[in-house]
Structure 1
Amino acid sequence: MKRMSVLITLLATTPAFAAKGPFFSLGNTDFVVTIGFLVFLGVLVYFKVPGMLMGLLDQRAAGIQSDLDEARALREEAQSILAEYERKAAETKDQAEAIVKAAREEAAAAAEQAKADLATSVTRRLAAAQDQIASAEASAVKEVRDTAVTVAIAVAGEVVAKQLKAADANAMIADSIKSVGAKLH
């Protein structure tokens, strides 16, 4: 019924109804064209061309729908990948901050250790310097004593030489030889 109303509408709107003279005659080109057009439409309907066209359109619509579904799935996958990337970026940022914090703490600890090592080294060097000073003092004191003894012996020798006479010196030498001889034998 629907098809008939479409056909009647097509026929009613043709310019053939506006022509003068008998419409239903083979001499009227408008009538012949209308008949040819209706036969063409009948052939199309007989071979189910509108159904094929609708089927092709349905297939095209299904293809477009599948493309849209695939695009949605890809979009969702891209969003999940983006979310994962953002999460990993945040984790990486947190790890980087932790590494920097640990490095700063290690640097501070190393600086404190270096200060302690420096203080120990300075203390050791001060102790070594004090030992060297004490040794130098002891050496100087010994040298002064040795010099004092040498000077005292020289002074004593001069004093004894001035006060001692040759006979007394010979007697002392003889006594020394006797004491050495007695000690050796």
Structure 2
Amino acid sequence: MSEAPEVFATEAAQVLVEEGHGGAPTHAEPELLGFAPFQWVSIAMAVLLLIAFFYVKVHKTIAGGLDNKIAAIKQQLDEAKELRSEAEKLRDEYAAKISNAEKDAEAMVEGAKREADAILDKAEADSKAMVERRKKMAEDKISAAERDAVEEVRSKAAQAATAAARNLIKERHGVDDDRKLADQVISSI
């Protein structure tokens, strides 16, 4: 087995042992000009920042970049506000259009109902007029048929009366009576 490295005891270790730290040795940090390494890092960062701000003027570049970013964000906010106002206007416009469309639809329905009622009334009136015309035509046909029938009956009655009169004349009047009658008619003319 390898041997453990040898630890050198320092005065600080002796002090720690004497103060009751259980004899555990402590590690001593290296120092330069009385500053520990983390202090040197802090000093270097401070010097670097001072050079950056005063010599290179990085703060102006950073501030300019931040100002540009702020301006861009303000512009985006303004655009967003403008877009929002346009969207609200469009929403209100479309709400009005929807309301008008509903009113127009109701008006169309009412107009259609009125037109349908008018068409029904006209159809009813037309059908009544047609029924009246057909009734009148039927009555005219019936009266014409009655007239034809009456004329036919009259004609047949006249023919029957003429035939009956002939028969009566034949039976009651002879040839001599006919001559006398014809002479009377001629003399009266």
Give the structure-1-normalised TM-score: 0.71
Aligned to 1:153: 162
* Greater helix share, structure number: 1
Gaps in structure 1 of 5+ consecutive residues: 1-17
Q: Give aligned pairs, total.
A: 161
**Which of residues 83, 90, 103 in structure 2 aligns to 1:94?**
103
Q: Percent identity?
A: 34
Distance in 2, matches of 1:92 and 1:35, equals 76
Deviation, structure 1 residue 102: 1.5
The equivalent residue for 2:186 is 179
- Which residue pairs with 1:7 in the alignment? none
Distance 2:186 2:139 in 1: 48
Give the Cα separation in 1 of the matches to 2:186 and 2:107.
92
The Cα shift of 1:61 comes to: 1.7
**Number of the residue aligned with 1:112:** 121
Summarize the alignment of residues 13-162 of structure 1 with structure 2, pairs less than 5 Å apart: 19-23=29-33, 37-45=45-53, 46-162=55-171
Which is worse superposed, 35-44 or 95-104? 35-44
The runs of at least 4 aligned residues of structure 1 exceeding 4 Å deviation read 28-39
| Distance in 2 between residues matched to 1:34 and 1:118, nearest whole Å | 111
Deviations 1:32-87 (A, max 9, x none): 87776555333311121022112201210221121012112101210111111111
Matched residues in 1 for 2:83 and 2:119: separation? Answer: 52
Report 1 or 2 for greater relative contact order, CA contacts < 8 Å, sequence distance ≥ 6. 1
2:38 and 2:130 map into 1 onto residues whose CA distance is 122
How far apart are the structure 2 equivalents of 1:141 and 1:21? 156
TM-score by length of 2: 0.70
Distance change (3 Å), C-alpha of 1:179 and 1:110: same
Find the residue that maps to 2:162 and give its secondary structure: helix
